[in-house]
Every structure is written in structure tokens, then in C-alpha cells.
């Protein structure tokens, strides 16, 4: 039986989220910045039309911002996460099989549905009505072709935001006018290499011999070629697979030069990572700490180091993880540098149910610690204050720059917009 996939992708998601609560900005150019207000990570249609590229640093476009009256927002991930779950919830009402693929897109299984174009339009209208976010829908027999269809739905106005790409003739026509780099799974390096071989369009890639693709590149690109030819290699993954690693890292608003300051930052990341770990209900064995100077800073010396260690046994206990973190930090720390970024990575996970208790560990002590962690997480999420360990420090001068953050419209009572 042939499957039918749809991908629903929000248009300019972060920009649309900011606009949701500011109807006055409906047709005003608007962009959203990365952490530290560093570079552009989302743009409204108007900003795209001005030719401002994804990822450019803010300082390079100051003139254009002034000239065109562009509204600038710091990123507000709490808001985006909340809007995202509303979108996904709506989609789950419309289709029994949904794979949440990222914060702003989901794959749906539409096998067996009759009029797919109408169905796509219905999805689009429903999300707009329920959540207020515009989406585009791409429909095809494989995920890769569905992504391609979605691409076209976004690019061509006449499609009205929905493209049904089940017909082979349409697939061919679209691939012939699609540059190979727009294909899902073909990034910068592959594009360069394919171009060197004279492969410029998606259609040319689709015509390549799969064995040759595997030999020259990898099974990954081979799969892409198969998918472009209508052979589905990637199924719908409805249950989110367990995480393999958890990372917490940040660039600093200002360079850090002191041992204590950087150590505090690293401990804070470690505690955040441990919190995520507990939310996933997993235990970690491996802890990795990295620190580095800015790769863009040409005037001061560079330094980049990382250290990995193993806990004596799997744990999600912040105090145990912090203890190892500080030891690892001392291994990588070197005086005399201007540090721009640091992070903590947890890995080697297992589930709490099948962990072998150590011969030497005190069982009661372990249960006490688990209970303590629960209390700490509850307090820290209550919004009524924070509890932290020695080594962390809640008032942080390394904290991010966020000059233009929008209010917590959906998650804080005092920030809910008033209707007059």
C-alpha cells in the first residue's frame, strides 16, 4: 500500500508568534534575534523581501533596520514553545497519526483520505482559526517529496499554501525547477560537491544511480534519492525516541575572564542539564564540559578545550553531576583568555528501572536524594523562587543580552494582553 504523507510547516514561525499578540504589526517588517541578540533567526515576509538573510549578525544590518522601520525582537522561546504545542494539539485533532518533527512542523499520515487538496486547505484554515498562525501544507508519497511540496506551497502564491505532489508528472516538473540545495538533507557541502559533478537541480539528483550515490557519498543521500523517486524510506515516527544526549550551552553577553565567573556559568548549565535529564526520566553516566574563546575574535588568543568524565554510576542527581562538572572544569580551565561560550553535555543514558545498584551505594541515601531533586524541581518551576547548589549563582553577570524581549503573553497572568 502506498502511503501519503503531509507536512504542515508554520510560516515564519517565530515572527508569526510575535505578531500574534501585536496585530498592529501585521504588515510591518519584523525579525527575531538569536540569544544575546546576536543574529537574525526569523524574518517576516517583508524582511525576507528586503533581502535580509537568515543568520546575519545584527550589527551588520543596523542601517536597514532604521531605514525600513523593522521591528526587532529578542527570542522568547517560552512563547514559541507554548504556541507550538497549541498548533500540534490542533493537528492531533485533525489526524490520528502525527509526528512532531520540530517546533514549527509536523508530519501527518493522510493515507486513505480522498480529496487531499481540500483536506490540506482545511488543516490550514483550522490552525489559523484555532491558533492564529499561518501554515503551508505539502502532500506526497514520501517525506522528502512532501518537504519539496511544502517548499513550493510557500514559494508560489497561486498554490494558496497547499501542494499535492502525488502525481509523478508534477513531481518531475517541480524538481526540474528546484535547485538541488533546496532538497531536505542536501546541505552546503553536498551542494558544492554535487554542483562540481554538474548536478544542479533536484531532478538531476533524482536521476543519479543509487549505487553510485552510495559509493560517492553515503547511505543518507542514497535514501534521499530513493525518496525523490517516490520510494518511501522514512516512516512516520509518532513516539518521540528517547534522547541520546542533553546539551546546555550559551554564548555570554560579555566575555568572561575570571575563574569564578566561568565556573559559576558552567555549574548553572550543569544544573539545567540535570533538570532536563530528570524531566526525561533518565540517568546519565557521561558528563562533558567545554569552554572556548570566540572564533571571531582576531585580536586575542584562541583557546578551546573539552573534558569528559564518567560518574561512578548512572545518576540524575544534581549534586553528583555538579561534583564531576567542577572537576572537569578544573581540567579545562586556563587563565588569561577571554571566554565567549561554555557548555555541559550529558550522555550515556539509561532508564532508572534497569540500573544496577552499586555494591557500595547506600540505597536509602539514594532515595532521599531523588526526593530532594523532586522538591527542588517543583520549587524552581513554581515561579515563587529558586533553589540552587553551591557553585551555581542565580544572579549572573554572564547572562544573555535580551534587549527586545516580548512579554510572556501566554504564560504569565500579568502579561496577558487586555482587550478594551
**Among 250, 278, 292, 320, interactor with DNA by CB under 7 A:** 250
- Using the rule CB under 7 A, give the single segment among 125-133, 166-174, 182-190, 407-415 that binds DNA: 182-190
Dihedral sign for Cα atoms in the order 127, 132, 133, 135: positive
405 conformational bin, left if phi > 0, alpha if psi -120 to 50, beta if neither: beta
One character per residue 57-96, x = contact with DNA (rule: CB under 7 A): xxx-------------------------------------
Give the nearer residue to DNA in terms of CB position, either 280 or 370. 280
> Hey, which bits of 28-128 come out as E strands?
30-33, 40-43, 71-73, 98-102, 105-109
Copy the grid coordinates of residue 131: 491558533
Residue 373 binds DNA (CB under 7 A)? no
**Among 245, 281, 351, 378, interactor with DNA by CB under 7 A:** 245
**Among 169, 296, 353, 360, interactor with DNA by CB under 7 A:** 296
**Shortest approach of DNA to residue 137 CB, angstroms?**
15
**Shortest approach of DNA to residue 124 CB, angstroms?**
18
Burial 379-390 (b: 16+ CB within 10 A, else e): ebeeeeeeeebe
Give the nearer residue to DNA in terms of CB position, either 121 or 193. 193
Of the candidates 242, 269, 276, 250, which has an alpha carbon nearest to the alpha carbon of residue 377? 276
Dihedral sign for Cα atoms in the order 133, 40, 52, 68: positive
Of the candidates 293, 340, 344, which has an alpha carbon nearest to the alpha carbon of residue 322? 344
Please write down the HEC assignment for all residues of 292-316. Answer: EECCCCCCCCCCEEEEEEEEEEEEC
One character per residue 120-139, x = contact with DNA (rule: CB under 7 A): --------------------
Residue 184 binds DNA (CB under 7 A)? yes
CA dihedral (265, 268, 269, 270) in degrees, to 10, reads 120
**Among 18, 46, 104, 264, interactor with DNA by CB under 7 A:** 104
**Shortest approach of DNA to residue 277 CB, angstroms?**
9
Q: State the residues that interact with DNA by CB under 7 A.
A: 34-36, 38-39, 41, 55, 57-59, 101-105, 147, 183-191, 218-220, 241, 243-251, 255, 276, 294, 296-297, 308, 340-341, 343
Amino acid at each position: 500500500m502506498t502511503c501519503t504523507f503531509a507536512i504542515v510547516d508554520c510560516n515564519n514561525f517565530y515572527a508569526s508568534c510575535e505578531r500574534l499578540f501585536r496585530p498592529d504589526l501585521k504588515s510591518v517588517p519584523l525579525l527575531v534575534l538569536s540569544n544575546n541578540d546576536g543574529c537574525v533567526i526569523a524574518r517576516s515576509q517583508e524582511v525576507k523581501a528586503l533581502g535580509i538573510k537568515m543568520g546575519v549578525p545584527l550589527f551588520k544590518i543596523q542601517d536597514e533596520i532604521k531605514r525600513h522601520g523593522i521591528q526587532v525582537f529578542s527570542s522568547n522561546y517560552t512563547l514559541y514553545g507554548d504556541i507550538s504545542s497549541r498548533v500540534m494539539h490542533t493537528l492531533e485533532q485533525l489526524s490520528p497519526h502525527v509526528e512532531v518533527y520540530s517546533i514549527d512542523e509536523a508530519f501527518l499520515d493522510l493515507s486513505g483520505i480522498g480529496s487531499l487538496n481540500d483536506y490540506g486547505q482545511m488543516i490550514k484554515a483550522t490552525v489559523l482559526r484555532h491558533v492564529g498562525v499561518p501554515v503551508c501544507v505539502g502532500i506526497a508519497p514520501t517525506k522528502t517529496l512532501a518537504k519539496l511540496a511544502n517548499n513550493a506551497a510557500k514559494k508560489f502564491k497561486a498554490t494558496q499554501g497547499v501542494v499535492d505532489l502525488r502525481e509523478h508528472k508534477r513531481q518531475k516538473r517541480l524538481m526540474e525547477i528546484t535547485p538541488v540545495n533546496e532538497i531536505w538533507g542536501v546541505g552546503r557541502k553536498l551542494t558544492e560537491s554535487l554542483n562540481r559533478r554538474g548536478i544542479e537541480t533536484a531532478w538531476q539528483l533524482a536521476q543519479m544511480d543509487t549505487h553510485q550515490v552510495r559509493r560517492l557519498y553515503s547511505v543518507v543521500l542514497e535514501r534521499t534519492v530513493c525518496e525523490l523517486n517516490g520510494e518511501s524510506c522514512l516512516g512516520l515516527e509518532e513516539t518521540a525516541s528517547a534522547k541520546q544526549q542533553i546539551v546546555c550551552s550559551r554564548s555570554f553577553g560579555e566575555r568572561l575572564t575570571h575563574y569564578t565567573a566561568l565556573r559559576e556559568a558552567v555549574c548553572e548549565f550543569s544544573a539545567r542539564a540535570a533538570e532536563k535529564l530528570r524531566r526525561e526520566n533518565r540517568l546519565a553516566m557521561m558528563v562533558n564540559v567545554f569552554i572556548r574563546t570566540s572564533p571571531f575574535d582576531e585580536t586575542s588568543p584562541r583557546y578551546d578545550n573539552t573534558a569528559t568524565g564518567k560518574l561512578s554510576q548512572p545518576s540524575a542527581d544534581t549534586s553528583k553531576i555538579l561534583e564531576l562538572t567542577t572537576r572537569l572544569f578544573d581540567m579545562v580551565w586556563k587563565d588569561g583568555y577571554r571566554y565567549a561560550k561554555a557548555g555541559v553535555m550529558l550522555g550515556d543514558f539509561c532508564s532508572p528501572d534497569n540500573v544496577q545498584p552499586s555494591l557500595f551505594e547506600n540505597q536509602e541515601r539514594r532515595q532521599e536524594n531523588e526526593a530532594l531533586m523532586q522538591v527542588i524541581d517543583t520549587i524552581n518551576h513554581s515561579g515563587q523562587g529558586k533553589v540552587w547548589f553551591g557553585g551555581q549563582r542565580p544572579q549572573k553577570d554572564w547572562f544573555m543580552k535580551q534587549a527586545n524581549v516580548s512579554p510572556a503573553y501566554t504564560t504569565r497572568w500579568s502579561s496577558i494582553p487586555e482587550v478594551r
